[in-house]
């Protein structure tokens, strides 16, 4: 089931460009994992993964076994790392999946994996300061010893995740995490433990600090042409890091109706906004169910015929209204750009995020997965 009145266009050339930018940053000896979890940050799990595979990325990062299964059913063969938690009674499903590695951080998962009649590759997640999943550094050797008791389990990777490298211009906390991680790697070497894929860097770390690259980087938001934050972009500029990101996603709809509304009459639920003149109001068949946030009521904009049109009144579940009085050439089923560029006008995920007091990640990830993703040049 999909909404034919709304669609998302994924630029193959922009995504390929961004992947090449990251490959240039890390060089030929460092692996590149592209995070496609959560429907590829709203861009389309299968669509993005196919383009990533064509660009010879080394890993795809997903959140669940379901996402891994979808990729394999669509004949995508790139190695997969499942980053999210998998319930113990669901691990048996790994029997039917090839070249899928798991992030692990508790002994219960290791015990269950050890009971499977299959070789399993795992990446141990180390807790260095994010306060989420992870093995405490003081427990790492004990955890590895326990894992190695299970002969079908191969520790392929060790990794951690930065807590505060994106939201600040001062990276003291991030460097402290890096030091904890390095000390853990040193501890492994002292105990003659070799792990082939050590990884730490997210998009921001990959761009800003070469010393975070190790054996692999995990690129997420910036592969999709979006900066992790203004602070990351400013730090990159300050450090003279040359990087041009191209937004990959354009979200479109159409006009479902145009009507005349007399001066002083209200628009939408709650009568929260009235027109101050005789107005032409266009109805757009997209709402908060689709991911066009209700917080954009009366403050959002769209692009119609190369001009901005203001959202009027409250965003509804399946539609919202815009003022097209000053766009007189507007007609039924004209194209509407919700996120993207047309001519001189552009509405970015960052603009959405600023108005909603959130981050660009949330804006694109929350575009309803039932909306068609279409690959364009």
Question: pLDDT, tens digit, for every residue of 316-345?
Answer: 999 999 999 999 899 999 999 999 999 899
Tokens at residue 242, please? Answer: 């040359």
Tokens at residue 117, please? Answer: 């009649």
Tell whether the model's pLDDT for residue 142 goes beyond 80: yes
- Write down the pLDDT at residue 3: 77
Q: Does the residue 124 lie in any domain?
A: yes
- Write down the pLDDT at residue 166: 87
Tell whether the model's pLDDT for residue 240 goes beyond 90: no
DSSP state of 208: H
Do 260 and 233 fall into the same domain? no
Per-residue confidence band for 241, with pLDDT thresholds at 50, 70 and 90: confident
Give the CATH number of the domain where residue 116 resides: 3.20.20.10
Do 229 and 268 fall into the same domain? no
Do 230 and 268 fall into the same domain? no
Do 62 and 150 fall into the same domain? yes
Nearest CA-CA partner of 32 in 69, 75, 71, 81? 81
Nearest CA-CA partner of 325 in 264, 275, 289, 372? 275
- Write down the pLDDT at residue 239: 83
Residue-wise DSSP of 105-155: --HHHHHHHHTSSS-EEEEEEB-SSS-SS-B-GGGHHHHHHHHHTSTTEEE
Do 274 and 158 fall into the same domain? no
Alpha carbon distance 219, 173 (integer Å): 20
Alpha carbon distance 234, 279 (integer Å): 42
Do 77 and 219 fall into the same domain? yes
- Longest distance between any two alpha carbons in the chain, whole Å: 79
- Write down the pLDDT at residue 312: 98
- Sign of the alpha-carbon torsion through 148, 153, 157, 160: negative
Alpha carbon distance 110, 145 (integer Å): 11
Per-residue confidence band for 46, with pLDDT thresholds at 50, 70 and 90: very high
Alpha carbon distance 207, 212 (integer Å): 10
Q: Does the residue 363 lie in any domain?
A: no
Alpha carbon distance 43, 31 (integer Å): 22
Tell whether the model's pLDDT for residue 1 goes beyond 70: no
pTM of structure: 0.95
Do 186 and 81 fall into the same domain? yes
> What is the rounded average pLDDT of the residues 249-273?
97
For the chain, give the percent of residues with pLDDT over 70: 99
Domain of residue 264 covers: 249-347
Give yes or no: 37 in active site: yes
Tell whether the model's pLDDT for residue 4 goes beyond 90: no
**Side-chain half-sphere CA neighbours of 245 within 13 A:** 23
Alpha carbon distance 43, 34 (integer Å): 13
Give the CATH number of the domain where residue 306 resides: 2.40.37.10
Active-site residue, selected from the candidate residues 145, 269, 331, 341: 269
Tell whether the model's pLDDT for residue 47 goes beyond 80: yes
Question: pLDDT, tens digit, for every residue of 160-181?
Answer: 999 999 888 889 999 999 999 9
Q: Does the residue 359 lie in any domain?
A: no
Give yes or no: 189 in active site: no
Residues paired with 340 in a beta bridge = 347
Dihedral pair phi/psi, residue 8, rounded to 5°: -115, 125
Domain count, the chain: 2
Dihedral pair phi/psi, residue 41, rounded to 5°: 55, 35
Active-site residue, selected from the candidate residues 37, 105, 209, 252: 37
Dihedral, 257, 260, 261, 263 alpha carbons, nearest 10: 150
Do 20 and 152 fall into the same domain? yes
Q: Does the residue 372 lie in any domain?
A: no
**Mean pLDDT, the chain, as a whole number?**
96
Q: Does the residue 367 lie in any domain?
A: no
> What is the rounded average pLDDT of the residues 291-310?
98
> What is the rounded average pLDDT of the residues 41-67?
98
- Write down the pLDDT at residue 238: 86
For the chain, give the percent of residues with pLDDT over 90: 95
Do 232 and 256 fall into the same domain? no
Q: Does the residue 368 lie in any domain?
A: no
Q: In which residue are the tokens 């496609």 written? A: 36
Do 87 and 199 fall into the same domain? yes
Q: Does the residue 117 lie in any domain?
A: yes
Tokens at residue 222, please? Answer: 């910036």
H or E element that contains 357: none
């Amino acid at each position: 089931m999909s909404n034919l009145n709304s669609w998302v266009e994924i630029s193959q050339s922009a995504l390929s460009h961004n992947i090449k930018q990251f490959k240039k940053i890390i060089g030929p000896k460092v692996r590149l994992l592209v995070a496609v979890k959560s429907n590829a940050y709203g861009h389309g799990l299968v669509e993005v993964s196919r383009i990533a595979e064509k660009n010879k990325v080394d890993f795809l990062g997903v959140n669940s076994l379901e996402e891994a299964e979808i990729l394999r059913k669509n004949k995508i063969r790139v190695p997969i790392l499942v980053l999210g938690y998998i319930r113990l009674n669901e691990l048996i499903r790994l029997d039917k999946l090839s070249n899928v590695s798991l992030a692990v951080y508790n002994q219960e998962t290791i015990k269950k994996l050890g009971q499977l009649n299959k070789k399993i590759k795992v990446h141990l997640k180390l807790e260095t300061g994010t306060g989420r999943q992870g093995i405490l550094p003081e427990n790492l050797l004990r955890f590895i010893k326990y894992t190695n008791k299970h002969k079908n389990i191969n520790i392929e990777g060790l990794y951690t995740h930065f807590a505060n490298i994106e939201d600040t211009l001062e990276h003291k906390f991030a460097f402290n995490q890096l030091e904890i991680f390095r000390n853990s790697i040193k501890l492994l070497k002292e105990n003659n433990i070799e792990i082939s894929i050590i990884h730490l860097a997210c998009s921001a770390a990959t761009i800003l600090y070469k010393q975070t690259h190790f054996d692999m980087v995990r690129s997420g938001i910036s592969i999709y042409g979006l900066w992790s934050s203004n602070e990351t972009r400013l730090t990159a500029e300050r450090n003279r890091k040359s990087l041009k990101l191209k937004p990959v996603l354009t979200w479109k709809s159409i006009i479902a109706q145009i009507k005349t509304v007399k001066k002083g009459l209200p628009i939408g639920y709650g009568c929260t906004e009235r027109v101050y003149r005789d107005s032409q109001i266009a109805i757009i068949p997209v709402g908060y169910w689709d991911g066009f946030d209700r917080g954009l009521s009366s403050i959002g904009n769209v692009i119609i015929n190369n001009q901005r049109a203001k959202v009027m009144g409250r965003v509804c579940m399946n539609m919202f209204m815009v003022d097209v009085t000053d766009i007189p050439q507007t007609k039924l089923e004209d194209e509407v750009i919700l996120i993207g560029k047309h001519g001189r006008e552009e509405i970015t995920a960052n603009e959405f995020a600023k108005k909603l007091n959130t981050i660009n990640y949330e804006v694109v990830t929350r575009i309803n997965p039932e909306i068609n993703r279409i690959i364009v040049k």
